[in-house]
Amino acid sequence: MDVLVVKLGALGDVLRTTSVVRRLKAVHPDVRVTWVTARAAMPLLEGNPDLERVLALEDKPKLERRFELVLSLEEDKAAAALALSSCSGEFIGVLDEGGLRYTDSSALYYDMSALNRDPDGTLKTADRLKAANALGYARIWLKILGLPAPKQAAELRPVLVLRDAERKAAARGLCLTGAKAKLTRAIGLNPGAGKRWPAKQLSVGPAAELAGALAGLGRPVLLLGGADEAKRNRDIAARAPAPIVDAGTARGLREFAALLSWLAALVTTDSLAFHLGTALGVPTVVLVGPTSAAELELFGAGAAVRPPSCNCFYKPECATPPSCLDKLEPAKVAGSVRRLLA
């Protein structure tokens, strides 16, 4: 059976969709999967043994109407149009019929999305469903597709394939004396979350305090982040009450993932670093703020730490300070890391 997956972004969502394809292949070994994604996401799918072809939507691929199953997973008109035009059998997900909507078969997921607006234009119903949801992303899609869940949680981990040469280059690029030995003992701290979701990130002061608490565990602490977070990370490192290593923010996707693969543990916000860490099997502590903890699956190799309360659920910014994540106690987070490493 030929299967088409159309999933462009966000990068973390692309990565966690690989676990659904992995399970589909496990149950139906003969399926042949073509994936259309955004060019920026293609490095995440490089070398994935479950995929026959990976194509960029920007290249306007011409696909035959031969796919017996199409998973249209992007709320985008061009992506939905390509998905529908390529389908010769079952279509699940987003389609464009004078406006984006979703198939009844995909309601378990998309009822919680921005496509499910109330008559007054708000997302109250969608947000209420997200708050009540107890299933992770992959398990939602397994239910939609009628696929049995695996016996072991680790079998649902996202798929990310790194070459040994990439891992070795990442260690060399850190420019630390004895970099490999230090990396295998190190705790990574990724306190940012990009520009779209300020409420998902730790502020500079609380991030510095957390860095100090993690350094108190007697291991090197590597401060991680994306290209837009260079100055912010320098400020965090300068304010940290103990020495930490600013690992830089100029890496590409695969180089960043290769660096994470060495870590003894990762502490991160709900961001791409979280999805990369879980895909690589790095013991991960995720700091949960305004998003759904249930959707942040750790696959048996981590812990979620939540603030006592959060009044900005699925809002990009918290209306009143401190933000949800800034309420987290550094000692509590450090304790979760200590237990993971015990």
pLDDT at 326: 93
- pLDDT given for residue 31 in this prediction: 97
Strand 53-56: give its sheet, edge to edge: 53-56, 32-37, 2-6, 67-72, 87-96, 100-102
Instruction: State the pLDDT at residue 209.
Output: 98
**pLDDT in the model for residue 309:** 82
Q: Which of 129, 204, 160, 145 is nearest to 48 (CA)?
A: 160
Mean pLDDT in order along the chain per 10 residues (342 residues): 96 97 97 98 98 97 93 97 96 95 98 97 94 94 97 95 95 70 88 86 96 97 94 97 94 96 96 97 94 88 90 81 91 97 94
Predicted local confidence at residue 179, as pLDDT: 57
pLDDT recorded at residue 18: 98
Record the pTM.
0.94
Taking the chain, what is the end-to-end CA distance rounded to the nearest angstrom?
Answer: 46
pLDDT at 92: 98
3-state secondary structure string across 141-161: HHHHHCCCCCCCHHHHCCCCC
Q: How many CA atoms lie within 13 A of 218 on its CB side?
A: 3
- pLDDT for the residue numbered 178: 57
What is the reported pLDDT for 294? 85
List the domains of the chain with CATH numbers.
2-156 (3.40.50), 164-341 (3.40.50.2000)
Q: Residue 320's pLDDT is what? A: 80
What pLDDT does residue 53 have? Answer: 97
**pLDDT in the model for residue 197:** 79
Q: What is the pLDDT of residue 177?
A: 54
